[in-house]
Structure 1
Amino acid sequence: MWKSLLDLKDSKILVFVIVYLSFLLDNVLLTVVVPIIPDYLFSKDVENSVANRLSLSPIQRKFEQFEKNNGPLGALLASKAFVQLIFTPVVGYLTGKYNYNVPLLIGSCNMLIATILFAYGKSYGVLVLARALHGSSSAAIGVSGMCILANTLPKDYRLRFMPIAFGGIALGVLIGYPLGGVAYQFIGKSAPFLIIAFFIIINILLQVMRLEKSSNTNEEDGVDNVNWIELMKYHKTIIIAASICISTGAMAILEPCIPMWMIAHFDPPPSKWQLGAVFIPDSVGYLIGSNFIGLLSITSWRIALGAMTLIGLCCCAIPLAATISNLTLPHFGLGFGVGAVDAALVPLLANLVDMHKSTKYGPIYTLQQMSVSLAYCFGPLLGGQLVNILGFPWLIRIVGFTNIIFCPFLVYLETTKKKQPLSEEQTLPSYASLSTESCEDWE
């Protein structure tokens, strides 16, 4: 696979590296704040109020702050996804009208500003502004980055190497959690963000030098663009988008809730670096699931069904943990399941565009990004509020049940094909054997 990538022209390899690095840094910044912000907000509140609460025991203060901070923390983490949800259709429209380079460059510059705000911001309002600004950059990077890959890579390379770009997302998630926890404890709050800012500047310089020279004008090639109305006519589109949203929602709810739950539930409470290390199994699982699940000779909908079932079971197992080591297996299974869902279903979304003989992937990538944004918008926001009503154990169990209950809808991806028999050449291939030609025949 990698040998085939090296067969591409040097300019195309560099464009691939730029997009990969953009995805990587975007997700490092996304996850690096997770172990930092809960403890940072919690510590500030304790410092500001300890003088007035000397009559309370340390355990009572801990639980009081736990209950108080879940709502604001959920709103802070959700602000990024909320802004990303708003900006994603705008970026999708712009990439359909103009070239893909400008949104990527603007998104990278916005990400740099957001990183600096995270590094030096101290008030809650500044942190919300930084998170929201990061949301606008993620919208630009997510949509334009995938469009650049589709426009740059030859057709017979797309389905083989676009999943490698998702490896950048997975690696960013893998790096972000422990980087945030370790650097925050041993160096300080600003340190991890300054490290990220350094690499963002390198990426911006690469974009200025290389992407402006590449040919990315969106030629029509005699093919009409596939619009939103056409895409939403297909029930498969809605089912796939909903599956991505629901499975990602499990991870999105965990981010604001589990650090606070660990602080309140575990005795002794976890240290700062452990709040980040607890997400390492999720990241490793996602990396394996998103990159290697396609090697299985199993149809995509079956992979997604098994993955969402696994997500549901792991969500139910998480509240049973009494130590950090008890969280390792369910967290790994959760990350593996989310990665497997993405690896199995995202290529099927692209097939819907191939069916129309179109080269315009902007709308379908916009739909996929909006599904993820919905999960990361309403997951932390609702989770931060509902945990006070239902408690963390029942909240995460309900998320797990939702994944399991949705599984039967994935069978529709198979039953529709059976109702309209196809020839042997048109049979839906497994994810591992997908090719450009077979994508065009799938209905």
Structure 2
Amino acid sequence: MMNPVVGALTAHVGYQLPLFVGSINLLVATLLFAFGEHFLALLLARSLQGIASACISVSGMCLVAEQFPDDVIRSRIMGIVLGSMALGVLVGYPFGSLMYDFVGKMAPFFIISVAVFLNGVLQLFLLDLKPVPNRLLLSTSWHKLLSDGHVVLIAGAIWLSTSTMAILEPCMPIWLMDNIKPQKWQLGMVFIPDSVGYLLGTNFFGPIAYNLGRWRVAVSAMMVIGLSTVLVPSAGSVGQLAVPHFGLGLGIGVVDAALVPLLASLMDSRYAAHYGSVYALQQMAVSLAYSLGPLVGGEIVHAIGFPWLMRSVGLLNLLYCPLLIFTSHDVGIPVTTLNSSLMADAPAVNYKTNTANDQAANNNKNLYRRFLNSEDSD
């Protein structure tokens, strides 16, 4: 619910203030998790964490897109940012369980709160937290974004690939205990290959996707997701799950590394270069996957069983690939060369992006460009 609110807010106050507000919310939520004992306290903590996630995710990706207008560098930096989430999952589960067992419930949250506090102090010194009401921005409406086939396809691919993991996470442990009967410590180890694969996919495949063609790489990654998901039920032991789980995480990471930077490039080339709305849409796709995935998966698994659920989800990922292929006329072509005739009625107004594009187009010419309305150009 907060993602579109934050996206709209960034058009009025910029990207940096919501990032700081999100950090404050995260600090309060962490302390509530540490001290909370009752349902209402934990519910409030979870709600604040959701608000913090929306603020940090949307404004953070927007800030990266604005600060790094070069597409190659932007792809690499966004991959690192996306990979940091996988690193948090990879480290967070064993860290939280070990601290809980040996020190107590409060200890991991205290350590996290100290880290968030130090990060907030750094933001006070490094970020300009003043609202920027006079900022020249031409925000893109939701109707325009949802009318663009490319944006909808990207959001759909992110939603479907993320839904695969969202469905797998709650259903897998029950199937394991009923069929493979692993030891308790093995249940937590099952999802480590997913995080490792996602970490590698996001960190290393951003520039590769840019060079080979983002749509082409995204299609290949979704095929890997589909095949890996289909292979999950065929595993006869915990060890045999490592390969399909790694492929699943790698595929999701590559999809994100290829398509998330493409959203910023589409905004630069087709719309006003304000990224709040489009990254709010991207985060809504992720949130929708993790909210509906467990609910829908939990109902379907009772009707058709875990193996057929996984095969069906894998087949959906494979069937989505032709949509990406046949709807995208620019498969394999860098976004900077796209014909933006579909939606070219709004000029880009991101100063950093346009300055970089002007310098590239004019080689070493020193060009200063003011952004004026057409009525004022006389």
Instruction: Give the TM-score taking structure 1 as reference length.
Output: 0.68
Distance in 2 between residues matched to 1:125 and 1:264, nearest whole Å: 34
- 2: CA distance, partners of 1:333 / 1:180: 26
* In the alignment, structure 1 residue 146 sits paired with structure 2 residue 57: no
Q: Does 1:276 align with 2:188?
A: yes
1:426 is the counterpart of 2:357 = no
Give the match for residue 201 of structure 2: 289
Backbone CA RMSD of aligned residues: 3.1
Partner of 1:342: 256
Deviation at 1:245, TM superposition (A): 0.3
Instruction: Give CA deviations for 1:26-49 in whole Å, capped at 9, x if unaligned.
Output: xxxxxxxxxxxxxxxxxxxxxxxx
Q: Which residue of 2 aligns with 1:34?
A: none
Q: Does 1:231 align with 2:145?
A: yes
SS at match of 1:411: helix
Cα deviation for residue 281 of structure 1 reads 0.7
Post-superposition offset of 1:240: 1.0
List gaps (5 residues or longer) in structure 2. Answer: 340-353, 362-378
Distance 2:47 2:204 in 1: 33
Deviation at 1:132, TM superposition (A): 3.1
CA separation of 1:326/1:187 partners in 2, compared to 1, >3 Å: closer, same or farther?
farther
Specify the alignment match of 2:26 in structure 1.
Answer: 111
* Change over 3 Å in CA distance of 1:148–1:315 after alignment to 2: same
Alpha-carbon deviation of 1:312? 1.3
Instruction: Give structure 1 stretches of 5+ with no counterpart.
Output: 1-85, 429-434
Corresponding residue for 1:196? 112
Displacement of 1:345 in angstroms is 1.2
Structure 2 Cα separation of the partners of residues 287 and 268 of structure 1 = 26
1:343 counterpart letter in structure 2: A
State the distance in 2 between where 1:99 and 1:357 align. 18
Distance 1:281 1:219 in 2: 47
SS at match of 1:105: helix
Aligned twin of 2:132: 217
What CA distance in whole angstroms lies between the structure 2 residues aligned with 1:135 and 1:196?
A: 16
Residue of structure 1 equivalent to 2:82: 166
Give the conservation status (yes or no) of the 8 Å contact 1:312–1:404: yes
Q: Aligned partners of 1:412 and 1:347: how far apart in 2?
A: 21
Counterpart AA for 2:142? W
Q: 1:365 corresponds to which residue?
A: 279
Does 2:100 match 1:179?
A: no
- Sort the Cα spacing of 1:308 and 1:369 in 2 relative to 1 into closer, same or farther, 3 A: same
Residue 256 to residue 93, structure 1, CA distance change in 2 (3 Å): same
Structure-2 separation of matches of 1:394 and 1:193: 39
State the shift of 1:231 in Å.
Answer: 1.7
Distance in 2 between residues matched to 1:122 and 1:407, nearest whole Å = 47
List per-residue Cα deviations over 1:132-187 (Å, max 9, x = no partner). Answer: 33211111111111222234445575344333222322322322233234444444
User: Structure 1, residues 283-333: CA drift from partner, whole Å, max 9, x if none?
Assistant: 110111112223444221221111111111111222223332121111100
Worse-matched range after superposition: 373-382 or 169-178: 169-178
C-alpha change, 1:395 and 1:202, in structure 2 (3 Å) is same
State the shift of 1:226 in Å.
2.0
Judged with a 3 Å threshold, the aligned counterparts in structure 2 of structure 1 residues 166 and 312 are, in CA distance, closer, same or farther, namely same
Aligned to 1:405: 319
TM-aligned CA deviation for residue 120 of structure 1: 4.4
Give the SS at the match of 2:132. coil
Q: Distance in 2 between matches of 1:235 and 1:316?
A: 28
**Shift of residue 360, structure 1, vs aligned partner:** 0.8
* Structure 1 pair 298–159 and aligned structure 2 pair: CA distance change class (3 A): closer
Does 2:41 correspond to 1:130?
no
1:3 aligned partner? none
- Looking at structure 2, the residues matched to 310 and 388 of structure 1 have their Cα atoms a distance apart, in angstroms, of 26
Offset of residue 253 of structure 1? 1.6
Q: Give the % identical residues.
A: 47
Task: Tell me which of 103, 122, 143 is aligned to 1:206.
Answer: 122
Q: Which residue of 2 aligns with 1:23?
A: none
Q: 1:224 to 1:405 in 2, by over 3 A?
A: same
Aligned residues: 340
Q: Which amino acid in structure 2 is aligned with residue 149 of structure 1?
A: V
One-letter amino acid of the structure 2 residue matched with residue 408 of structure 1? P
CA distance in 2, matches of 1:188, 1:266: 31
Q: For the Cα contact (< 8 Å) 1:177–1:280, is it kept in 2?
A: no
Deviations 1:84-121 (A, max 9, x none): xx000000111111132332222122222322333444
